[in-house]
């Protein structure tokens, strides 16, 4: 039984707890977040995207009790002071979105953890996408990249290996996130991220394609992308367009993806559908990618488009938990 601590109890941290609660070989023993334990319990119990949590949630002093299991809750700013040694936490999920560099993440090791898994892209740690480069996660600190990187990397790895990819570009149609504004407001990063998320399509930069090249370095300099943030709270779809190394047809592309979805390597990571899905149909899907076979296109033999759905919260978090199980 691996014992897990969660630092940062936001969207991903709460999803991680719910998924781990249903995972037989993992147990959450600690949560650290600056919000009050009362607010943490409330947000865990009631979720606007996924509905009311079916497990019992209540508070006993400084302990959050979930489905009868006690979880130590703290609100400590300094990583060095976190009680990971005392509660015997083996692995820390670093999901604050703040401590994303190696030096900060390593402080969890000094506090008693054996491994640190960062739930977002980093610049100076290995990037690991479960199923794609799982074995690279045998280090004390690594990043599971982003939801979009986990969505597109399996598709790129599969078609690159089976067909060959010269170069590629991504456009992800992505649900809005906490980095955007509810009403028009200034934005420090991108002006369009300051516009009202619920009523706008907002083109944005994304590092997902570049992060994919950290997991698949053979595509460095050959893969980039953009995003369009759209007025849905969860549920996204990636549009991957690439030049194939040899002539192909739609039927071959789809057959490759169907075959790979049945392999031990990818059966929990990637699936396919020939049904006419829309974004609400993908909510709470545990897969990193659900390839929409009806959307596959080939132009003039080598210009290929593949589209893949993903729940940008639940699918990503499941990927992270699968990687933790493999440690």
Tell me which residue range forms the domain holding 289. 147-312
What is the rounded distance in angstroms from the CA atom of residue 43 to the CA atom of residue 220? 40
What is the rounded distance in angstroms from the CA atom of residue 20 to the CA atom of residue 25? 8
Give yes or no: residues 99 and 165 share one domain. no
- Does residue 238 fall inside a structural domain? yes
C-alpha 139: how far from chain center:
19
What total number of domains does the chain contain?
2
What is the rounded distance in angstroms from the CA atom of residue 148 to the CA atom of residue 315? 10
**Active-site residue, 144 included:** no
Give yes or no: residues 113 and 160 share one domain. no
- Does residue 127 fall inside a structural domain? no
Residue 222's beta-bridge partner residues? none
pTM here is 0.97
- Does residue 142 fall inside a structural domain? no
pLDDT tens digits, 250-274: 999 999 999 999 999 999 999 999 9
Q: Are 233 and 48 in contact (CB under 8 A)?
A: yes
Give yes or no: residues 267 and 154 share one domain. yes
Give yes or no: residues 163 and 103 share one domain. no
Question: Could you say which of 147, 227, 230, 232 is catalytic?
Answer: 147
Task: Kindly give the confidence (pLDDT) of every residue in the chain, 327 residues in length, as a single tens digit, with 9 standing for 90 and above.
Answer: 999 999 999 999 999 999 999 999 999 999 999 999 999 999 999 999 999 999 999 999 999 999 999 999 999 999 999 999 999 999 999 999 999 999 999 999 999 999 999 999 999 999 999 999 999 999 999 999 999 999 999 999 999 999 999 999 999 999 999 999 999 999 988 999 999 999 999 999 999 999 999 999 999 999 999 999 999 999 999 999 999 999 999 999 999 999 999 999 999 999 999 999 999 999 999 999 999 999 999 999 999 999 999 999 999 999 999 999 999
Give yes or no: residues 114 and 168 share one domain. no
What is the rounded distance in angstroms from the CA atom of residue 57 to the CA atom of residue 253? 46
């Amino acid at each position: 039984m691996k014992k897990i601590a969660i630092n940062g109890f936001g969207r991903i941290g709460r999803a991680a707890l719910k998924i781990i609660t249903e995972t037989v070989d993992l147990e959450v023993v600690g949560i650290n977040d600056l919000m009050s334990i009362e607010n943490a319990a409330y947000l865990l119990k009631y979720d606007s995207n996924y509905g009311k949590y079916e497990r019992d949630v209540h508070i006993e002093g400084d302990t959050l009790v979930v489905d009868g299991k006690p979880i130590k809750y703290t609100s400590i700013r300094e990583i060095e002071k976190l009680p990971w040694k005392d509660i015997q936490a083996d692995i820390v999920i670093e999901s604050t979105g703040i401590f994303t560099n190696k030096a900060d993440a390593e402080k969890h090791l000094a506090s008693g953890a054996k491994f640190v898994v960062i739930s977002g892209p980093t610049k100076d740690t290995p990037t690991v996408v479960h199923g794609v480069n799982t074995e690279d996660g045998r280090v004390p600190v690594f990043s599971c990249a982003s939801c979009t990187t986990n969505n597109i990397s399996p598709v790129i790895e599969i078609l690159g290996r089976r067909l060959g990819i010269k170069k590629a570009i991504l456009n992800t149609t992505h649900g809005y996130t906490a980095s955007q504004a509810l009403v028009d407001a200034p934005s420090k990063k991108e002006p369009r991220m300051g516009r009202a998320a619920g009523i706008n399509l907002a083109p944005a930069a994304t590092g997902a394609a570049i992060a994919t090249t950290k997991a698949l370095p053979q595509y460095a300099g050959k893969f980039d992308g953009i995003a369009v943030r759209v007025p849905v709270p969860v549920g996204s779809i990636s549009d991957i367009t690439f030049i194939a190394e040899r002539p192909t047809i739609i039927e071959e592309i789809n057959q490759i993806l169907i075959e790979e979805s049945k392999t031990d390597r990818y059966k929990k990571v990637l699936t396919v559908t020939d049904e006419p899905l829309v974004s609400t149909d993908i909510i709470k899907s545990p897969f990193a990618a659900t390839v929409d076979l009806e959307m596959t296109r080939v132009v003039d033999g080598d210009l290929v488009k593949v589209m893949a759905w993903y729940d940008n919260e639940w699918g990503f978090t499941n990927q992270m938990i699968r990687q933790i199980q493999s440690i």
